[in-house]
Amino acid sequence: MANTRTVTVINGDGIGPEVSAATIRVLEALKVPLEFEFKDAGAEVVAKFGTNLPHETVEAVLKSGVALKGPTGTVVGGGLPSANVGLRKRLDLYSSLRPVKSVPNVKTRYENVDLVVVRENTEDLYAGLEHIVVPGVVEALKIITEKASTRIARFAFDYARKNGRKRVSAIHKANIMKLSDGLFLDCCRKVGREFPEITYDEVIVDNLCMQLVKDPTRFDVMVTENLYGDIVSDLCAGLVGGLGMVPGANIGERTAVFEAVHGTAPDIAGKGIANPTALMMSAVMMLEWLELRDEARRMQGAIQKVYGGDAKVRTGDLGGSATTREFTDAIIAAL
């Protein structure tokens, strides 16, 4: 196929291989000019490679420039560092982009939610710089730099301008962390002055959480440091039905990884009942990033059509009885 682009596929752990296979079926039905190469990452490949993020996987994504990734497991409170965090650091995927939008016929407490969380991905407490001072006392270092804060602010304002968004809110705790979060806000303000058509405001993170639960429609694009962004993006996902209903992307200067941000769901792995919606939506974002806009529009339209139609075509997490294959068949038919 002429001008074919290679996409690195990382199946991941648990239900990862199932939702990846379902998503690739839809992409192939779209006849996109893409070739898929499969590489390993996650907890389930440690025995084979001695690591959850093999060097050849990172090299493959560097070469292809784009990856589609299923969920990977991380041991809590011990074990190897997160493969997700490792991938973001090694590829300098500085921006986590998480659009959160209401899905037709998915009943939640809210309607017409349409938010975007832009999260700085490389520093803050997730730099992982912690050490034991004396037994019983651990110190973790929060790293905030002018370079990273300016870069993520510019990404958020650029995204708002390109996508017709009207407001960018900087999320912070500068009332307590006056130097670190103060630097982040100073960078956001400077960048904001370059985008006079976009309204800029600042919201303290704990107040934001309350305001989102009261009325999520008052917010538009939110730009955050790493830890706040991790928490706020999951909170926002809960407003539209959970992590299974939202896409995710990690974007750098030359490389991007599009991933399902939900867990590996080991309790249902291999049963053929996983919901592939999140990874399919992430694939839509990937198509847009690759400038395959017509294919992205068709795939997004098919997802909307299936959710707007017969309630039986739902996986078990949404109260239906459809298998992963039956749901995927419905998406392909809707194309």
**What does the H/E/C string look like for 202-213?**
EEEHHHHHHHHH
Q: Known catalytic residue: 230? A: yes
At residue 118, the 3 state secondary structure works out as strand
Q: Given 69, 94, 126, 307, which residue is catalytic?
A: 126
| pTM of the complete model | 0.91
Q: Known catalytic residue: 110? A: no
pLDDT of residue 1: 47
Nearest to 88 by CA among 61, 63, 112, 48: 61
**Does residue 145 contact residue 123 with C-beta atoms inside 8 Å?**
yes
Looking at the chain, the whole-number percentage of residues with pLDDT higher than 70 is 98
H/E segment holding residue 149: helix 146-162
Residue where the block lists tokens 């704990």:
206
At residue 335, the 3 state secondary structure works out as coil
**Does residue 248 contact residue 256 with C-beta atoms inside 8 Å?**
no
pLDDT of residue 77: 58
**Does residue 279 contact residue 68 with C-beta atoms inside 8 Å?**
yes
What is d(CA 184, CA 146) in angstroms, rounded to the nearest whole number?
7
Q: Over 90: is that where the pLDDT of 76 sits?
A: no
Average pLDDT (116-142) is 94
Q: Given 228, 230, 307, 329, which residue is catalytic?
A: 230
Q: Which range is least confidently modeled, 77-91, 154-168, 190-204, 301-315?
A: 77-91
Looking at every residue in the chain, the average pLDDT score rounds to: 93
Nearest to 269 by CA among 6, 35, 12, 38: 12
Nearest to 117 by CA among 3, 237, 34: 237
What is d(CA 210, CA 215) in angstroms, rounded to the nearest whole number?
9
Q: Which range is least confidently modeled, 111-115, 161-165, 249-253, 311-315?
A: 311-315
Hey, which residues does 117 pair with through a beta bridge? 98, 222
Q: How far apart are the first and last CA of the chain?
A: 21
Q: Given 101, 142, 173, 305, which residue is catalytic?
A: 173
Average pLDDT (164-184) is 98
**Does residue 311 contact residue 259 with C-beta atoms inside 8 Å?**
no
Average pLDDT (10-39) is 96
Average pLDDT (308-312) is 78
Q: Given 206, 271, 310, 312, which residue is catalytic?
A: 206
Write the pLDDT tens digit of every residue in 28-45: 999 999 999 999 998 888
Average pLDDT (179-205) is 98
Average pLDDT (237-259) is 95
What is d(CA 201, CA 130) in angstroms, rounded to the nearest whole number?
32
**Does residue 70 contact residue 19 with C-beta atoms inside 8 Å?**
yes
Rg (CA), the chain: 20
Q: 96: which DSSP letter?
A: E
Average pLDDT (180-184) is 98
Q: Over 70: is that where the pLDDT of 318 sits?
A: yes
Average pLDDT (242-252) is 94
Residue where the block lists tokens 């979060």:
181
pLDDT of residue 75: 63
Q: Over 80: is that where the pLDDT of 226 sits?
A: yes
Write the pLDDT tens digit of every residue in 77-128: 556 778 888 888 889 999 999 999 999 888 899 999 999 999 999 999 988 8
